[in-house]
Amino acid sequence: MSTDLQPIIAARDPENPDVLIAPQQAPVEPAPITEQEVGEYREQDRFLPIANVSRIMKASVPPTAKIAKDAKECVQECVSEFISFITSEAAEKCQLEKRKTIGGEDILQAMGTLGFDDYVQALKIHLAKLRQNGAASAAAAAAQRELQHAENRVQEED
């Protein structure tokens, strides 16, 4: 039997004896995180999945080309750092404007601010197409839901 365990006994409120006061316990501190755990967490948290990076890289080279593991890992770190770099610039702008949500335009503006102007125009077009497809998908989903509701009403009337 452990001697570390102590009973927890509630005390009565001196001003109102019908009320019990829960005893205050010292907060339990979690076990310290090891350097290895920190490293593993950071890598998992910061980097894109290597399979996704590899798939993108393979799509950019001839089918017969091979890509070394260290090349994939290098690109994985680079693109992850690039995303963090752009996003932190956009987040700073949003914070100054007292906004919580980073939008596509914020990312594009951050890219321009950081010297990636050559990509901004093409990405503006891509963002517009993405939004257009998103709006079309949302409209199609709404129409599908309305059709389902109409069918349900007809079945209920029968």
What are the pLDDT digits (tens) for 61-93? 999 999 999 999 999 999 999 999 999 999 999
pLDDT at 2 over 90: no
Domain boundaries, the chain: 39-115, 117-158
Identify the H or E element spanning 20: strand 20-21
Residue with tokens 């316990």: 25
Q: Which CATH superfamily is domain 39-115 in?
A: Histone, subunit A (1.10.20.10)
pTM over 0.75: no
Spatial distance between the Cα atoms of 133 and 89, rounded to a whole number of angstroms: 27
What is residue 43's predicted lDDT score, i.e. its pLDDT?
Answer: 62
CB burial string 116-126: b at 16+ within 10 A, e below: eeeeeeeeeee
Q: Please tell me the least confidently modeled range out of 16-25, 48-57, 131-140, 149-158.
A: 16-25
Q: Please tell me the least confidently modeled range out of 12-26, 63-77, 112-126.
A: 12-26
The mean predicted confidence, pLDDT, of the chain is 82
What is residue 3's predicted lDDT score, i.e. its pLDDT?
Answer: 55
For residues 17 and 27, is the Cβ–Cβ distance under 8 A?
A: no
* pLDDT-above-70 percentage for the chain: 77
